[in-house]
């Protein structure tokens, strides 16, 4: 039985250019060389085409390359997808221009009717990514402009109807900075899970760190940094985030 591959570290990507570094680059973007050529070839041919023709051609051209049980995606020009067979896209998913969705063995799942807006970055390409500890986005979620969602260790799970504001950041991992006997590039990268409940709203420029759970219908104010769990129906703000109010339940009148 072959030995498992050694985990990849940040330092592996920081050396001088070499054939090994080229191999690391390729494997970070596709499962193997044939898949790399297939996925990058499809995006080179179809990724620039504007308007409805481009949406239709990319849906048909990218769909066979995506993870099993994927629906037909609506993808704007200049969106980048890496490790496409580890990306599962639900029905009626929209991916805006300039987005980068970078999976690894830690998969990325986009739920039905989700919207990934311009220049958002979804990434599981971290040191030693782990299968099953990627990114799961539930049904009807909105990921705002320039938002960053990064896992690979620990896992990020978004419930249904979650709203993520512009430039919000969710990151599960960090470096073991206490280990001062080695350079920061070689310090261990450790991730802890993030769980976001249904109908949560994360304001613009908010930050959610690893090991945090946010309960249903909670609200995170713009610019807040969440380092501890947030109960349901709670509004938090500040650095670090603390409770500043509560969500009162009421029926919204129709137009």
List the catalytic residues. Answer: 175
| Structural contact between residues 242 and 231, judged by C-beta atoms closer than 8 angstroms | no
- Which of 244, 171, 255, 247 is CA-nearest to residue 212? 171
Q: Round the CA-based radius of gyration of the chain to a whole number and report it.
A: 19
Give the dihedral of Cα atoms 69, 150, 193, 160; nearest 10 deg: -50
- Which of 64, 117, 71, 67 is CA-nearest to residue 90? 71
Round to whole Å and give the CA distance between 136 and 114: 11
Pairing type for strands 163-164 and 169-171 reads: unpaired
Round to whole Å and give the CA distance between 141 and 81: 19
Coil, helix or strand for 225?
A: strand
Partnered with residue 204 across adjacent β-strands are: none
- Which of 206, 99, 209, 198 is CA-nearest to residue 145? 99
């Amino acid at each position: 039985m072959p030995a498992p591959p050694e985990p990849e570290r940040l330092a592996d990507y920081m050396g001088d250019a070499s054939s090994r570094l080229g191999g690391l680059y390729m494997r970070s973007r596709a499962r193997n060389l044939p898949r790399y050529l297939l996925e990058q070839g499809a995006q080179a041919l179809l990724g620039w085409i504007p308007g409805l023709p481009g949406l239709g051609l990319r849906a048909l051209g990218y769909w066979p390359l995506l993870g099993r049980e994927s629906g037909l995606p609506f993808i704007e020009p200049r969106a980048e997808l890496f490790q496409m067979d580890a990306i599962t896209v639900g029905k009626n998913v929209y991916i805006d221009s300039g987005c980068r969705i970078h999976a690894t063995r830690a998969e990325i799942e986009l739920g039905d009717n989700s919207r990934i807006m311009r220049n958002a970055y979804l990434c599981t390409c971290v040191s030693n990514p782990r299968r099953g500890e990627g990114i799961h986005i539930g049904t009807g979620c909105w990921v705002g402009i320039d938002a960053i969602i990064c896992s690979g260790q620990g896992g990020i799970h978004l419930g249904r109807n979650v709203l993520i504001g512009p430039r919000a950041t969710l990151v599960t991992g960090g470096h073991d900075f206490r280990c001062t006997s080695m350079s920061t590039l070689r310090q261990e990268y450790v991730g802890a899970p993030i769980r976001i409940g249904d109908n949560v709203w994360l304001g613009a420029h908010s930050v959610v760190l690893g090991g945090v759970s946010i309960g249903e219908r909670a609200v995170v104010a713009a610019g807040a940094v969440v380092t501890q769990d947030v109960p349901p129906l709670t509004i938090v703000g500040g650095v670090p985030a603390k409770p500043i109010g509560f969500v009162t339940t009421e029926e919204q009148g129709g137009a």
